[in-house]
Structure 1
């Protein structure tokens, strides 16, 4: 059976890119795959999935995203609306390609899936929707609440109300919905999505690429803490920076790997990081993880959180919130700390308590990191990791071999 994969982010590094990459690899294990979307990032990432990705036929969207001064102004003033328009444009193009390719089944990522799911329903092709986060309404609520609290302004980024309505229609149309964690499934069912159609398929990770440094620097001076991810409102970077300020620069040094997101988040970062010993730059997280002692990911909502697994693979204990799917990988007190996302003040207090405890047991952190990698290795060896065979309902073959 052949499958068409519809995706809105390039397959490659980063959270969503990594999920596109793992989905492509998982589908390739089931048969021929044609991917419709922005393709692969650069020349691809040298990891274990690359052989599988080379077997995928990548068809790039033909320059559908709006460009020019007007588009740039729209992205700045109302980025959520522009994102929704671009997602629908890609979706319409993908549906046209589906009508040409006539695949046996369709696997599509949220936001760009709607038109493809409509095509699959009309054609009788089994469909699976990949939902990288929790329910998009909860995703939106996290952004909207932080925007009001930190800026006093209405949130205009992604997801817009139109995007939420679009994705909720995707939830209803899909035969199956793939999520990466039990937390993500609960987020969906709590908001009324039929749990019988949701399939939890754990994400893979390349343990050869993400591995401990041969020799980690001696822990001297402030505690070396890493944060990896785009600095956006959902990632909890403001409570983290305020926690670092509370503890003081003589106790904690923060290294951030990630872009600073939109203009609002750039301004927030500049304000909150002023005077702190914080390094921030986009790039490959592996070198920073290999020279850090602890990862902190204070997400307010995260369906999985690839960086948690990446840090554990690099031999780091982690601090993560209970609103992140990868928290299930953590054994509290043994491989890290799980703190309540709660309201921002509660989160900052919980982060401060976790970092104080990490400082108190600093000599144990390397052993905790070794246990974290061992636990992750065992989890990745269990059956079902990136096995997408359960993502499609059984469907009879079309009469006469044609649709």
Structure 2
């Protein structure tokens, strides 16, 4: 097998970048990596073939009304990059691996060049499930900032049908595909893990402050309004909430500006999350949907208990009362209840180790 991997995210950058880096390195270790197509690869790697997003996309995405429509903006970037990938697919590969929402045209290009295997990485649960949960987020929070639109949803479903194999990285994602009628034999379970640098600190702060942390995009689909409401409802006198991330829509900007003006115990701190995680007492992941959730898994690796919703892939790594709690999606009261429980009775030895999984991406001998 000669595998070519394509994605519109730089190697190791953010959740998708970490995911694609994992797939690249596992393919390399298995001896099947032929080439990978990214905006930026691993430094000094001879197997990377840089593919840039067309320059016109940034100008188009900045123009009204697309600039105010995150779903169309995301689809524009993904579609333009998929076209660029299709032009860059090499002639001498045998298997093409791409990410959902940005692979249909490159799939067609690979098939036309004689590739005998098309592989799709499902970064989220089945797209119909994502659409349902993002709509629930909009209804419950009053903020509509989903990255998914109907065109992207149709394209993703076409990718599911075209792919020979679909790689899923949590039982939550796998079950969503089975529920949608995708055959079990088409699904391959992979396992992800946090980077080695995420380790517990030598010493945690010795003061009386109870530190809550969230890391990731600040938007409604990630449940940020629920977390803010839970924090203010709980009203613990010595608690602080740090949000490590940024917002991408005017509606979320206005919402967060109001939150920060009204509550000095809530702060936004973009940048490297590791120092903040190593001071945290609890990590809260209130997302309406996440196929995996690198940030809460990184918190577990740092020995921080995690409160996460049931609609996240990382929930399978939580054992209630041991290293955190799984709460119903969309429930403010459940988050408050678990915050109160952790403040009253901190969990002991919550660090979760993630052993290296057995390779699942094939070998050159196959």
Alignment TM-score, normalising by the size of structure 2: 0.91
Q: What is the distance in 1 between the residues matched to 2:61 and 2:284?
A: 38
The residue aligned with 2:361 is 388
Pick from 136, 144, 154: which aligns with 2:127?
A: 136
The residue aligned with 2:142 is 151
Q: CA deviation at 1:181?
A: 0.3
Q: What is the distance in 1 between the residues matched to 2:36 and 2:228?
A: 39
The residue aligned with 1:306 is 294
Q: Is the 8 A contact 1:34 1:59 kept in 2?
A: no
By percentage of residues, which structure has more helix?
A: 1
Q: Does 1:252 align with 2:239?
A: yes
CA gap of 1:312–1:279, structure 2 versus 1, over 3 A, is same
Gaps of 5+ in 1: 45-49, 395-403
The residue aligned with 2:177 is 188
Q: What is the distance in 2 between the residues matched to 1:127 and 1:353?
A: 46
Q: CA deviation at 1:192?
A: 2.1
Structure 2 SS opposite 1:95: helix
The residue aligned with 1:398 is none
CA gap of 1:338–1:368, structure 2 versus 1, over 3 A, is farther
Q: What is the distance in 2 between the residues matched to 1:117 and 1:93?
A: 12
Q: Is the 8 A contact 1:225 1:255 kept in 2?
A: yes
Q: What is the distance in 2 between the residues matched to 1:174 and 1:279?
A: 43
- CA deviations 1:343-389 (Å, max 9, x no partner) are x3xx1010001001001103xx3x232xx33xx24xx24x42x6422
Which aligned segments of 4 or more residues in structure 1 are displaced greater than 4 angstroms?
none
Pick from 311, 325, 336: which aligns with 1:352?
A: 336
Q: Which is worse superposed, 125-134 or 14-23?
A: 14-23
The residue aligned with 1:339 is 327
The residue aligned with 2:102 is 112
Q: CA deviation at 1:25?
A: 1.3
Q: CA deviation at 1:273?
A: 4.4
Number of residue-to-residue matches in the alignment: 363
Q: Is the 8 A contact 1:83 1:158 kept in 2?
A: yes
The residue aligned with 2:9 is 9
Alignment TM-score, normalising by the size of structure 1: 0.83
Equivalent residues in 2 for 1:237-248, closer than 5 Å = 237-248=224-235
RMSD: 2.4
Q: Is the 8 A contact 1:24 1:33 kept in 2?
A: no
Q: What is the distance in 2 between the residues matched to 1:351 and 1:303?
A: 20
Q: What is the distance in 1 between the residues matched to 2:207 and 2:284?
A: 17
CA gap of 1:323–1:69, structure 2 versus 1, over 3 A, is closer
Gaps of 5+ in 2: none
Pick from 149, 155, 158: which aligns with 1:160?
A: 149
Q: Is the 8 A contact 1:28 1:55 kept in 2?
A: no
- CA deviations 1:191-212 (Å, max 9, x no partner) are 22222211110103223x1111
Q: Which is worse superposed, 9-18 or 307-316?
A: 9-18
Structure 2 SS opposite 1:26: helix
The residue aligned with 2:345 is 361
